[in-house]
Amino acid sequence: MTSRPSHPRRRFALVAALIAMGVAAPSTSAQTTKPAEKPEPALALILESSRAAEDSELLPGLDHRTIALPADGLAVHVFAFDTSRFGVRTVQQHEETGSRALDFLAGPGDVFAINGGFFERDDDGRLSPSGLLVVDGVTVAMEHERAGSGVLHVGAGAASISYRADAPAPRALKSAVQVGPILVDPGGKVGIRSQGVRDRRSALCLRHGAIVAVVADSDGLSLLRLAELLAAPTGDGGVGCDIAINLDGGPSTQAIWRGDTGEIVIPGGSTVQNAIVLSTLPQ
């Protein structure tokens, strides 16, 4: 939900007090991570399952694939949008306490929403962006050094993903959200090295002529395994990203596609402050 640590000194004081009373101190890792119920599947197994899966056309220019490994606690949804038919923008919550993915499909032509950047939740349950957020050309929040290494942004041209230090000034953008890390560096190279914990994940990637949204559901994936899947060539069963960025994950992970013929709902465990929406373009 948020990339910023919260009051470490208070926690250390609490631990010291508990020890003094002879009470076992709570484990930090036990509080911040939920261990996966099953070992993470190898990349080769995921790619094999992906090659065996069939793409379904949800709309002209929108394909969907599910990589399913139920025995390994994994379901990966891949939504590929033709950039000549779909545009992307950032939106923010309709209520102070956040919104669900479904709530973000409010504009004409909106067909898909996925959770976006990190956010903070105050004592009253109100949400605010952790880092840069630009909606409809208005800067809702400025960037923060701990809110992610990358920025998804839309200016005068197509959507782009940049490292935070290289992103355009907010005043030049129509939409932007700071998040991260960058999972695939420009040129299709895996951009991270540490494995990390296995969890539900959301990501967005760009490849030639397409914007691709990826959701790792069930027990999810580690960041490294997700990055490897995103960077792997499409012919091998990968997503073939030229560049990809991690979105907020865990309970925030959620997405929805809604069309005339049905819907695909990937529910989240909490409301979120902002989302990324894809809409049909006039043809």
Tens-level pLDDT at each residue, the chain (283 residues): 554 444 333 333 443 443 444 444 433 333 344 554 689 999 999 999 999 999 999 999 999 999 999 999 999 999 999 999 999 999 999 999 999 999 999 988 999 999 999 999 999 999 999 999 999 999 999 999 999 999 999 998 889 999 999 999 999 999 999 999 999 999 999 999 888 899 999 999 999 999 999 999 999 999 999 999 999 999 999 999 999 999 999 999 999 999 998 999 999 999 999 999 999 999 8
Burial degree of 52 (CB within 10 A; 0-12, 13-18, 19+): exposed
Q: Which domain holds residue 26?
A: 1-32
CA 97, 102, 108, 109 torsion-angle sign: positive
At 130, which amino acid appears? S
Domain co-membership, 96 together with 155: yes
Nearest to 254 by CA among 99, 146, 133: 99
**C-alpha torsion sign, points 109, 114, 117, 120:** positive
Domain count, the chain: 2
114 and 168 both lie in a single domain: yes
In 3D space, the residue among 246, 240, 242, 255 whose CA is nearest the CA of residue 199 turns out to be 246
Say what the pTM is: 0.87
Residues 127 and 149 reside in one and the same domain: yes
